[in-house]
Structure 1
Amino acid sequence: MNKTEAPLEEIIFPFRFNLSQKAAVEKALTHSISIIEGPPGTGKTQTILNILANLTTVMGKSVGIVSFNNEAVKNIKDKLNKQKFGFLIADLGRAEKRQDFFHNLPTIDVAAWNHKDSLPELQNRVKEMNQILARLLADDNRRAQLRQELAAYRLEQRHFEQYSRRSSYNILKKCLSIHALPVRLLNIWRTRPLKRSFSQ
């Protein structure tokens, strides 16, 4: 796709996302090739769903989803079904699935989708909401950073207090030891008097 096909202000996010996922969606929609990777639970499927929403609704494109792992495709399908967008999917993997799909085409009543506001008005609202969301996500990201910094400072404070207590104890111990030295010498003198030799 061309870089100009998806202006950032027109991108929509109907599925949950965070700041890094938002950046991934924006890059995927404004570049010809995009690689999104991450361990399980980092929101790759949510990111794919938001990309699909923009490709199919904002750009009016048809999208093919393929994977080495059927479970990955099924996961996307299940999430779309859960959000009542399953009618957008045509499961065309095996021959029997294709036959089943074309024999049982979904019927959707789109009359309820009409809105009192015009398309330009809705697009402006989407832009405004995207700006608000961007600020909120940036604030949330900053809050997470501050929490990490605070946790690091508290850990450093605990280490310092432990070190300070140990140092103070050692200094006090040395002071008491030096102060008690004359007393100990006197006690030694009293308990072990020096032997004196007398000439006969």
Structure 2
Amino acid sequence: MNVEKLTKPDVLNPKSYRISREGREFFDIDAISVFRGRQESYWHICFKDGSERDYHERDLHIAESCLNDKRSADVFQYIKQIAELSNIRNEETGEKLLPKRFDKITYVGNEVALAKYLNPSLLNTGKRGGEYVPIFPFGCNNSQYNAVKNAMENQISVIQGPPGTGKTQTILNIIANILMQDKTVQIVSNNNSATENVYDKLSSPQYNLGFVAATLGSSKNKKIFVEHQDSSYPDFLTWKMSEEFGEMRKKISEQSARLKEFFDKQEKLAYLRQELSQLVTEQQYFNQYVEESDVNTDNIKCKKVKSKFVCKFIFQLCGF
């Protein structure tokens, strides 16, 4: 009565799952069989070294690839076919890059950005973790402020602008905000010059932060990076904060709010100046028309509506 015999397990593709237990991820999984009982399920996992283990499903953290969903898999297959048309090639070997990269992808977790493209229903349109207070060690304007804040609050963010509008500066601020969360950043581009531009700004004498980044875009860059690990680093003892981190974050939050308020007022002032300029131009045209048409302006009636003056012009000669 205390024994339940389980047969005919579900055989799963090990490439479609990421499995961990007590924070330790399993690697080199060769086969997965799931035995489902009346109350519990058991995972029989075979490893490539020949060992086998049995686990209660409740003891495992199991992440399933979104490619197990047919719709996501179909979209991914379509993207792979489109990648075949791309002519982006390895500068050293001439080999097409995108098809090779896509062929290596066998697992796409639901938490990564690609999964949101494959299945938009997974996209979380709400704010991640509530209101985010950004920092701007590289400076910013109002549009850059909004760009960084949106990038940190949303799963997918697109920043577009012509040359000279501060996209690289925005990237540097996004890097700073990610590092503040004890995370790492990977910067990719379809050409080396774009990523080198970001690295050059970081390593410039103005910031001297090149040591926080590694240029790994090619085998040559990787070799140079590894061979030059004896480079000098700043004296980090001078980087100690004179106050508690929590107190500093509070001050940053207050300053960020004031900065946003200043930007909003600055933008409103620019809008009002533009509106005033248009009104001045209209006034000039009106005065010119009155002078040329010999119109009697004594019958102009002005009416105040919700703090705005709406002028109703009655031109006797024109009939309106």
TM-score (norm. length: structure 1) = 0.77
1:69 deviates by 2.8
Cα pair 1:92 1:98 within 8 Å, conserved? yes
1:12 deviates by 0.9
From the superposition, tell whether residues 90 and 7 of structure 1 become closer, same or farther in structure 2 (CA, over 3 Å): farther
1:16 deviates by 1.8
> Paired residue for 2:210?
86
The one-letter amino acid paired with 1:150 is: L
The match for 2:291 among 148, 162, 165 is: 165
5+ residue gaps, structure 1: 170-200
> Paired residue for 1:53?
176
Report the structure, 1 or 2, having the larger helix content: 1
Distance 1:5 1:79 in 2: 30
The match for 1:40 among 139, 163, 178 is: 163
1:7 deviates by 4.5
> Paired residue for 1:4?
128
> Paired residue for 1:104?
228
The one-letter amino acid paired with 1:95 is: S
Q: Does the alignment pair 1:72 with 2:194?
A: yes
Distance 1:149 1:19 in 2: 20
Distance 2:254 2:235 in 1: 29
Cα pair 1:45 1:76 within 8 Å, conserved? yes
Cα pair 2:199 2:210 within 8 Å, conserved? yes
Cα pair 1:38 1:44 within 8 Å, conserved? yes
The match for 1:95 among 212, 219, 227 is: 219
> Paired residue for 2:136?
13
The match for 2:153 among 22, 30, 36 is: 30
Report the structure, 1 or 2, having the larger strand content: 2
Question: Could you say which structure has the larger radius of gyration?
Answer: 1
Distance 2:219 2:274 in 1: 53
Cα pair 2:192 2:217 within 8 Å, conserved? no
Q: After superposition, give the CA deviation of every residue in 1:114-143 in whole Å (9 maximum; x if it has no partner).
A: 021111111111111111101111111111
Segments ≥4 residues shifted beyond 4 Å: none
Cα pair 1:6 1:29 within 8 Å, conserved? no
The one-letter amino acid paired with 1:90 is: A
1:155 deviates by 1.1
Distance 2:210 2:178 in 1: 16
Q: After superposition, give the CA deviation of every residue in 1:53-101 in whole Å (9 maximum; x if it has no partner).
A: 1111x21111111111322212211211222211111011121211111
Q: RMSD between aligned alpha carbons?
A: 1.9
The one-letter amino acid paired with 1:70 is: N
1:6 deviates by 7.6
Cα pair 1:5 1:59 within 8 Å, conserved? no
The one-letter amino acid paired with 2:218 is: R
Question: Aligned pairs, how many?
Answer: 167
TM-score (norm. length: structure 2) = 0.49
Between the two structures, name the one with larger relative contact order (CA 8 Å, sep ≥ 6). Answer: 1
What SS class does the counterpart of residue 294 from structure 2 fall into?
helix
5+ residue gaps, structure 2: 1-110, 112-123, 296-320
> Paired residue for 2:45?
none
